Amino acid sequence: MFNKVLVANRGEIAVRVMRACDELGVQTVAVYSEADRDAGHVQYADEAYNIGPARAADSYLDHDAVITAGNQAGADAIHPGYGFLAENATFAAAVESTDMTWIGPSSDAMAQLGEKTKARSLMQSADVPAVPGTTDPVESVSEVESIAAEYGYPVAIKAEGGGGGRGLQVVHESDDIESQLETAQREGEAYFDNDSVYVEKYLHEPRHIEVQIIADHHGNVRHLGERDCSLQRRHQKVIEEAPSPALSPGLRDEIGEAARRGVQAASYTNAGTVEFLVEDGEFYFMEVNTRIQVEHTVTEAITGIDIVQWQLRVAAGESLSFEQSDVTTDGHAIEYRINAERPDADFTPTTGTLTTYDPPGGIGVRVDDAVRQGDSIGGDYDSMIAKVIVSANNRTECLARSERALAEFDIDGIETIIPFHQLMLTDERFCNGEHTTNYLDHKLDPERIERAVERRGDSMSDDPSSDDGDSDDAVERAFTVEVNNKRFDVTLTEETSPEIPLPELESDMLETASIDSNSRSTRSRPDEALPDTEEDAAAASTSAGDGEEVSADMQGTILSVEVTEDETIEAGDVVCVLEAMKMENDITCERGGTVSQVCVSEGDSVDTGDPIVVLEWVIHDTSLTRFMS
């Protein structure tokens, strides 16, 4: 195993890789840009190097700077994470030419599979079905026309280097071929330095199914089952799950074996993902991702296999210790990407400071992140700030647990797409597992997202820890009060200047208070939780056992008792006269209330601390229940 690994990435994936290193006893090295001086991955690592003095945003793409940091640290391997340099075959080759090991497939395999037509013919030679189309690049309008004549419209023109929807043109009629062919070529050239394109039959309502692969340097290849990533927005995955709700057991085995055969034929090593489109019970190879992916976590959850640890182990020369038949899956897992974006404003990225950051926990909930409360999100990098991975015995239980976990996630200071996820958990298509890749872009009514954002706002606004900061002329302060031992979180709105010290809490101040029961279930099911809470509140106020006990503050004799049981008295009223040290002392009550007990009578001698009367504070239930709604 390696001694020291440099992680050429940031954010949650850098921390994810370092965690695997820690568990293997491997030292970790972070690199960081100027924008990331205090970032989570920097704090997590054993040592860290600034590689961003010039252009902060591009630091993580600087081949030489990363390799120099690795040499300076004495690292013996580099893990690229995902994004940035992860699928850059040139960088992989540069690392291979040093004494350091590239933790990933060989640069040759990356270059081969990065070219889509090469990948297609490689797969076809291993009997892996691909979408009907060309395996050679297409250059002329007439070639596209003849393919369209064979399969019918629409057809897809795809850039050779393509991915993520860039360089993808869907042609519906022959008149458009010329201009769309040019567009695909132009985009391919612009984004991938490659103007070569190919053509496929276009599938209307496919699902995106991908198979996780891990391969060692001794010829062993295992697949770890599939993930369903059909819920995408403009080619960005938002929710991923495993297993797919859309595969029959037979199709699942077939697609897993096909992926395994395909990468074995390519002499592939390390972790990888084989992407397929699935439609009408048929699967079609699309492309290979030669990196660890964001959504690898759902596979880990249902297989119990630490994929990142295996990336390190196979890169260090170890053999896979398990057979294909040892890979079994248990239950269901769903990943929610927590993006700092406004779901009701076209998912535009947001920036700000995480004034509250309180992620969920408990059974079946994993949170991968690299931020802490107080961090600022600057918008320099990807908007994904965390991932919530929920697992359970089956999909139904997983959806219920997801609702619970997302309601627990408390974030203030920055907007996230949590309300969108919560909407999906009420969405019939998604809950039934019937969504396809075009569902979000073409079928979902955007107004439903706006309403989901409002609902989340409503359910969080009575939470005293979430201060929206939009009250200009009033100061809000959060208190916890206990009534009959029952806990209430109370927000007091102070209309006066904040310089004036807060008055003591008295029952009449509740006029401006809002109370919610401390139960978190009120967030997701307010309609059910409310009646319980009201009942409790009414019971608490009418039988209020809490109150004031007036006791003797010195030893002496009771000269007279000035109150009787059930009498209501006010703050400062005299309850008895006590003779002590030859003086008559008026004993008064501090707050007032109803006398529930008189403990002394005329002539009694009392010691310091002995009770004299007990008062009950009565909070009128009309004023209390009013705040419950």
Least gap, CB of 221 to ligand MV4 (angstroms) = 23
**Residue 2 or 283 having the CB closest to ligand MV4:** 283
Compute the distance between CA of residue 297 and CA of residue 306 in angstroms, rounded to an integer: 9
Least gap, CB of 163 to ligand MV4 (angstroms) = 5
Least gap, CB of 116 to ligand MV4 (angstroms) = 9
**Residue 21 or 119 having the CB closest to ligand MV4:** 119
Compute the distance between CA of residue 398 and CA of residue 395 in angstroms, rounded to an integer: 5
Spell 78-92 as b/e; 16+ CB within 10 A means b: bbbbbbbbbbbbebb
Compute the distance between CA of residue 610 and CA of residue 629 in angstroms, rounded to an integer: 42
Closest residue to ligand MV4: CB criterion = 437
CB 13 within 8 A of CB 39: no
Q: Are strands 365-369 and 341-342 parallel, antiparallel or unpaired?
A: unpaired
List Cβ<8 Å contacts ≥24 apart for 433-438.
433/228, 433/244, 433/245, 433/246, 433/395, 434/246, 435/230, 435/231, 436/205, 436/206, 436/207, 436/230, 437/205, 437/206, 437/207, 437/208, 437/230, 437/232, 437/277, 438/205
Give the binding site for ligand MV4 (CB under 6 A): 131, 156, 163, 165, 168, 200-203, 206, 208, 232, 235, 277, 286, 437-438
Compute the distance between CA of residue 341 and CA of residue 411 in angstroms, rounded to an integer: 13
Strand-pair partners of 157 = 169, 199
Least gap, CB of 433 to ligand MV4 (angstroms) = 16
**Residue 232 or 273 having the CB closest to ligand MV4:** 232
**Residue 120 or 222 having the CB closest to ligand MV4:** 120
**Residue 166 or 455 having the CB closest to ligand MV4:** 166
Least gap, CB of 285 to ligand MV4 (angstroms) = 11
**Residue 233 or 456 having the CB closest to ligand MV4:** 233
CA angle 261, 266, 268 (to 5 degrees): 95
**Residue 215 or 277 having the CB closest to ligand MV4:** 277
Least gap, CB of 534 to ligand MV4 (angstroms) = 47
Compute the distance between CA of residue 48 and CA of residue 44 in angstroms, rounded to an integer: 9
**Residue 41 or 233 having the CB closest to ligand MV4:** 233
Least gap, CB of 472 to ligand MV4 (angstroms) = 44
Compute the distance between CA of residue 265 and CA of residue 195 in angstroms, rounded to an integer: 27
Least gap, CB of 229 to ligand MV4 (angstroms) = 7
Least gap, CB of 334 to ligand MV4 (angstroms) = 17
Comparing CA positions, the residue from 114, 487, 148, 79 lying closest to residue 308 is 79
Identify the DSSP state of 503.
Answer: P
**Residue 147 or 377 having the CB closest to ligand MV4:** 147
- Residue 525 CB partners (closer than 8 Å, separation 6+): none
End-to-end CA distance of the chain: 60
Q: Supply 25's token pair.
A: 């006893």
Least gap, CB of 148 to ligand MV4 (angstroms) = 12
Compute the distance between CA of residue 387 and CA of residue 384 in angstroms, rounded to an integer: 8
Least gap, CB of 287 to ligand MV4 (angstroms) = 6
What single letter denotes the amino acid at residue 49?
Answer: Y
**Residue 209 or 392 having the CB closest to ligand MV4:** 209
Least gap, CB of 219 to ligand MV4 (angstroms) = 30
Least gap, CB of 366 to ligand MV4 (angstroms) = 24
CA dihedral 502, 504, 506, 509 (to 10 degrees): 0
**Residue 203 or 370 having the CB closest to ligand MV4:** 203
- Residue 534 CB partners (closer than 8 Å, separation 6+): 625, 628
CB 510 within 8 A of CB 533: no
Q: Residue 309: exposed, middle, or buried by beta-carbon count in 10 A (0-12, 13-18, 19+)?
A: middle
Residue written as tokens 């006893």? 25
Comparing CA positions, the residue from 271, 230, 260, 262 lying closest to residue 120 is 262
CB 285 within 8 A of CB 132: no
**Residue 168 or 540 having the CB closest to ligand MV4:** 168
**Residue 438 or 493 having the CB closest to ligand MV4:** 438
**Residue 104 or 206 having the CB closest to ligand MV4:** 206
Using H for helix, E for strand and C for coil, what is the string for 337-371? EEECEECCCCCEECCEECCEEECCCCCCEEEEECC
Least gap, CB of 9 to ligand MV4 (angstroms) = 22
Least gap, CB of 24 to ligand MV4 (angstroms) = 34
What single letter denotes the amino acid at residue 451?
Answer: R
**Residue 232 or 244 having the CB closest to ligand MV4:** 232
